[in-house]
Amino acid sequence: MRGDTDRDVLVFKGIRYGADTATRRFRPATPPESWDGVADATRYGHASPQKGAEPDQSEDCLFLNVWTPGLKDGAKRPVMVYVHGGAHANGSGSSPLYDGSALCRRGDVVVVTVNHRLNVFGYNGLSQVLGGPFADSGSVGNLDLVLALQWVRDNIAEFGGDPGCVTLFGQSGGGAKIVTLMAMPAARGLFHRVITMSGQHVTAMGPRHAELRMRRYLDRLGLTPERAGELAALPAARLVDALATPDPLEKGEIIFWSVMDHAALPRHPFAPDAPREAAHIPMIIGNTHDEARAFTASDPRNFQLSWDTVAAKLAPELVLDLNADYVVRRYREIYPQMSPVDVFFAAATAGRSWPGHLVQAQERAKIGAPAWMYQLDFGSPQDRRLKAFHGFDIPLAFDNCGKPGALTGTGPDARAVAAAMSETFVAFARTGDPNNGAIPAWAPYTLDRRPTMIFDVPPHMQDDPRREERLLFSVAPFVKQGT
């Protein structure tokens, strides 16, 4: 295949790791056929069909991209495979924020990003409705990732990488897919370290709820359950349009993601405990201090709240089932200096996604599995209303502050945080231990201390940050929204 260069980095885009999925819709993909001649690898491949503005969508979407400092040189560089976010529904591995050139230069590593099937094409309840050839339909998006990892195992040495030193890292839905792979038998042995960035999944979708959603989706398309097999032949655009179906269990549009089906995914990722079959895999678990601002800061009314209105506005944002009036009252006791607006954004984060990260770290600690926890406190200098919002750690971890959409700016503070985060991720990919000269000593997570790396200027360690908030929300069980 013919790639391209980015100064001293060799770049191969749109490498096919699986055959066109259109003829195997809702079924596990197959490896690609070989080819004669030279394949072009200078342009990104198609993205999965999805709602939104992601360009170049097609069911022929099983492509990956490689950035490397060298080819066939026996260097056995660490391999960092990034799984994109988008709640299992949107996105691709082609974002400028995921460009691997800076990581290659910083750490002499090989970086891989990957596209795979999303939303109903990758995750659905057909297994519960029809079974048979669709028995794995709740996991085919994740099985695409397994196929990509098998490609890495078999081919990455040609690109200067070490197939025995593969780190999976991903943000939001990408991190969620990774923790799901940790519980999937088909993925065992294909990766050796894990970094999740706001990937707070503890539970997958239950099979009965997957079936309920699938039946509602079929109804939107005018199909009875007995005719569900016709989905395999409908135009892809119709399936995408039907994603506007209201979810029968949650607010918003219908949710399709990993299904705990007792087969491809035999258990939930972190319930009732951390998967012991992945206990030997070192893990970094990260979150941002102001996660919920990514979802709530666009509403100007949230910056005009009073003590009389904040609880009513907060209640629908909470995933944990606590009384919003009680939560506001406790925040006022814990943080008397906070305004109603401050309380809203802080509690929306602590009651929505942060507990999932804590559960992962706690369950790993209980079985003695190595885990390190971080929190990004450094916030956006370009949009101070967003602060350290959900997704803000992506350009910092990739050292891509100057890329479109980063919102980090390229000032000295942003550069310093990016240097610390990217150096740390590279060190972890190389050794399985995040400690390096760019940060203070980082201790693994334990239940007695709860040590956490705070990425800020400067980076520093803190035991049990936001302790009172953690205790406030710990009285309710965390079940991932959409489960």
pTM: 0.96
Indicate if 126 and 217 belong to the same structural domain: yes
Q: Give me the pLDDT at residue 255, please.
A: 94
The domain total for the chain is: 2
Q: Do 131 and 237 share a domain, yes or no?
A: yes
Looking at the annotation, which residues are catalytic? 172, 291, 390
- Residues spanned by the domain of 237: 1-285+389-401+411-439
Q: What are the mean pLDDT values of the chain's consecutive 10-residue runs (483 residues total)? A: 95 98 96 94 97 94 98 95 95 96 96 98 95 93 98 97 98 96 97 95 94 96 93 96 94 94 95 94 97 93 96 94 96 97 96 91 96 97 93 97 93 97 98 97 97 98 97 90 73
Question: What pLDDT was estimated at residue 423?
Answer: 97
Same domain, 212 and 243: yes
pLDDT at position 52 = 86
Q: Is 166 a member of any domain?
A: yes
In a domain, 153, yes or no: yes
Can you give the CATH number for the domain in which 253 is found? 3.40.50.1820
Sheet holding 4-6, edge to edge: 4-6, 9-16, 63-68, 110-114, 77-83, 161-171, 193-197, 283-288, 371-376, 451-455, 460-463
**Does residue 74 sit in the same domain as residue 165?**
yes
Within a domain: 369: no
Is 370 a member of any domain? no
Residue 481 is predicted with a pLDDT of: 74
